[in-house]
Amino acid sequence: MTEEIFAQALKMQEQLVDWRRTIHVHPELALQEHRTSSLVFKTLEKAGIEAQRGASETGVVGLIEGAGDKTIALRADMDALPIQEETGVSYQSQAPGVMHACGHDGHTAMLLGSALILKRLGSRLKGKVKLIFQPAEEQSFIGRGGARQMVAEGVLGSPLVSSIAALHLDPDLPAGIVGIRDGTLMASSTTFEIRIRGQAGHGGRPHKGVDAIYLAAHVILTLQGVVARETDALDPKIITVGEIRGGTSPNIIAAEVLLRGTIRTLSSEMREKVQRAVSDRSRDIARALGGDTISSFQYLYPALVNNRVLADMVRKVCAQCPAVDRIEELATPNLGGDDFAFYSERVPGVMFRLGCSIGKKTTLHSATFDFDEKVLPIGTALLAGLAVKLLEDQS
């Protein structure tokens, strides 16, 4: 059936591109995806697919009824990023300072295409497919929205979902190549804040104060030593300080500096170890230099772990899809994070990477990110084919 599904997806190329570009031109940040969710809802409604709006504020959940009782889910994320686009393409973002730099416009278009194909299968579909169009993947750490909130609202129940799948566009892979991995695919993510306290003073008499900026420089260097010297080099982890705020004037010794950053690990044990080390080392170095610190942490995502059986199903569906050039076994996890992990820690889940390179150096979350639109029918077919396979193997 995969070849038949791909043939249908190919016929949808123009529509898939139109959906993708419409969403790309009008990007919306987390929990502001009103225009996108309206497009999704109206498209599902027109196709005769039962759908509800308002999940996690701006999400849409659809349900396709087949001939069986089992239910599987497919998920796409819809939100954009606070980045000023610099691609220069004809469909460039019209929203100042906002763009789809992570492929969520493509994810949404491909799931819409899959939904229409699955709906046409009717009774040939051996069960139900829940369609999860999720907001706020990029900022689900804000405490509402995103996968965490959708799970809390019961998106995996009524009817009960037995497994879930998603794809993610990957500009590091050539178009037509699918990347897959058993086990841990992406890291857990924790945000930290370190408030470094010194003592204000005159810039010309630094010995009369305690320079919080000087302390912060030592703390940052010390944190990199946690990764390099205090943990197993064969167990990947990252400590990144991504934000520094401090000082009020060039001639005043800063009394306080705020450091904000992220911790990425592949296990809860390593996450806890690194978190303790960040708190302890920053405090120790600041106190040694006459200051002090207050550290806080916000746990964002668990590690995203692919179910081995579901990953094998992805391989089988890819092998049956004529447009997939090859399957690449991903040797190492990605230390990025994705809140799809909140679904996959509740039910068996799988995420695969869909190569989308446009032949020039670009990367996710950059102002020049774009992807090869010829992969839209491929992703559409793979999602629909995987849904069929999951239902057949569980019916």
Q: Mean pLDDT throughout 341-369?
A: 94
Q: Return the residue matching tokens 């509800």.
A: 52
Taken in order 132, 136, 140, 144, the sign of the CA dihedral is negative
Taken in order 24, 55, 348, 394, the sign of the CA dihedral is negative
- pLDDT exceeds cutoff 60 at 395: no
Q: Which of 91, 214, 301, 343 is catalytic?
A: 301
Token reading at 282: 């920053």
Q: What is the DSSP string of 115-170?
A: HHHHHHHGGGS-SEEEEEEE--STTGGGSSSHHHHHHHTTTTTTTTP-EEEEEEEE
Q: Mean pLDDT throughout 369-376?
A: 97
pLDDT score recorded for residue 13: 98
pLDDT score recorded for residue 326: 95
Separation CA 111–CA 133 (nearest Å): 8
pLDDT band with cut points at 50, 70 and 90 for residue 143: low
Separation CA 248–CA 245 (nearest Å): 10
Three-state DSSP at 244 gives strand
pLDDT band with cut points at 50, 70 and 90 for residue 394: low
- pLDDT exceeds cutoff 60 at 142: no
- pLDDT exceeds cutoff 60 at 141: no
Q: What is the mean pLDDT of the chain?
A: 95
Q: How far is CA 8 from CA 117, 126, 199, 375, in A?
A: 7, 19, 68, 14
CA dihedral 385, 387, 392, 393 (to 10 degrees): 110
pLDDT score recorded for residue 145: 73
Three-state DSSP at 171 gives coil
Residues 135, 146 contacting (CB under 8 angstroms): yes
pLDDT score recorded for residue 139: 80
Q: Which residues pair with 256 in a beta bridge?
A: 197
Per-residue model confidence as pLDDT tens digits over 247-303: 999 999 999 999 999 999 998 899 999 999 999 999 999 999 999 999 999 988 899
Token reading at 35: 């225009």
Lowest mean pLDDT among 72-86, 131-145, 317-331: 131-145
Helices (H) and strands (E) in the chain, counts: 10, 16
Q: Mean pLDDT throughout 60-82?
A: 97
Find all residues with CB under 8 Å of 277, minimum gap 6, and list them. Answer: 226, 230, 231
Three-state DSSP at 382 gives helix
Q: Is 373 known to be catalytic? A: yes
Residues 317, 383 contacting (CB under 8 angstroms): no
Q: Which helix (H) or strand (E) holds 7?
A: helix 2-11
pLDDT score recorded for residue 208: 95
Separation CA 290–CA 287 (nearest Å): 5
Please count the other Cβ atoms lying within 10 Å of the Cβ belonging to residue 242: 9
pLDDT band with cut points at 50, 70 and 90 for residue 360: confident
Q: Is 343 known to be catalytic? A: no
pLDDT band with cut points at 50, 70 and 90 for residue 233: confident
Separation CA 7–CA 1 (nearest Å): 10
Residues 139, 146 contacting (CB under 8 angstroms): yes
Separation CA 129–CA 114 (nearest Å): 10
Token reading at 312: 């094998």
Q: Mean pLDDT throughout 359-372?
A: 91
Token reading at 203: 């810039």
Per-residue model confidence as pLDDT tens digits over 86-131: 999 999 999 999 999 999 999 999 999 999 999 999 999 999 999 9
What is the percentage of the chain residues whose pLDDT exceeds 90?
A: 90
| Structural domains in the chain, sorted by start | 2-186+303-394 (3.40.630.10), 188-301 (3.30.70.360)
Q: Mean pLDDT throughout 332-349?
A: 94
Q: Which of 28, 57, 256, 373 is catalytic?
A: 373
Q: Which residues pair with 53 in a beta bridge?
A: 60
Token reading at 258: 């705020």
Q: Mean pLDDT throughout 46-59?
A: 96
What is the percentage of the chain residues whose pLDDT exceeds 70?
A: 98
